[in-house]
Amino acid sequence: MAATFLTANWKDLVMANYIIDPTILEPFVPVRTELDSFNGQVYVSLVGFMFTDTRLLGWRIPFHVHFEEVNLRFYVRHKDAGQWKRGTVFIKEIVPKPAISFVANTIYHEKYATHPMNHFLQEEEDFRSLGYSWKHKGRWNRMEAVTEKHASPMPPGSETEFIAEHYWGYSRYNAATTFEYNVQHPAWRVYKVNKYVVDCDFAGLYGKSLSVLDIATPNSVFVAEGSAVSVLKKRRL
């Protein structure tokens, strides 16, 4: 079993999920993986959440323990010894800490970028409101949600379960090489979203091929409670 590279808590994940033409994602698909689908549809998700109690190789790095992340990701699968592994590929991950970007880009060959970020969480008697914002080229982007007060288990076989239950990460090193890493956490409980806002410059942040998302409406938005997570060391496929 691979050793643990990172441990943390991932908390309050706002997940906006879009159905997308698979041909748009094909250039991003790492070798030896293929696009995963739910009911014949391919998804891309904009996800904002909190990292807390972050440790690299067991060590807490000063000023890099608690921070926001917003990522744009899609879903793939890889066949290993006759069994399918369902995983995630990140188009870009945004954090406010340059050291996090450096480590992730250098070691995991992910596509991290560093931008100013903020977040808020407000607990009321009957609801919760939360959101994440990030600044790019002078413009603040944001995703926010108002949810019910209490979280519930994900319905089995649902779109929500498909989005949340991917326990492998795949990153493209080059046209011939893919890295795989295991992400371990329990199944998450989710909050029903009653209202949401997504205000994001997809074309500016992620490239012209993703500009279709600038005029798209999410197929679903939910908030996952989150949990402690462990990211194991990568291996080359």
**Separation CA 147–CA 144 (nearest Å):** 10
pLDDT digits (tens, 9 = 90+) for 168-201: 999 988 889 999 999 999 999 999 999 999 999 9
List the single range of 17-31, 126-140, 169-183 with lowest mean pLDDT: 169-183
4-236 folds as: Acetoacetate decarboxylase-like (2.40.400)
Tens digit of each residue's pLDDT (9 = 90 or more) over 100-119:
666 666 766 667 889 999 99
What does the alpha-carbon distance between residue 194 and residue 186 come to, in Å, rounded to a whole number? 25
DSSP-assigned states of every residue in 128-160 = EEEEEEEEETTEEEEEEEEEESS-EEPPTTSHH
Distance CA 71, CA 47 (A): 5
Q: Which residues contact 20 (CB under 8 A, 6 or more apart)?
A: 42, 43, 44, 74, 212, 213, 216
pLDDT per position as a tens digit, 28-43 = 999 999 999 999 999 9
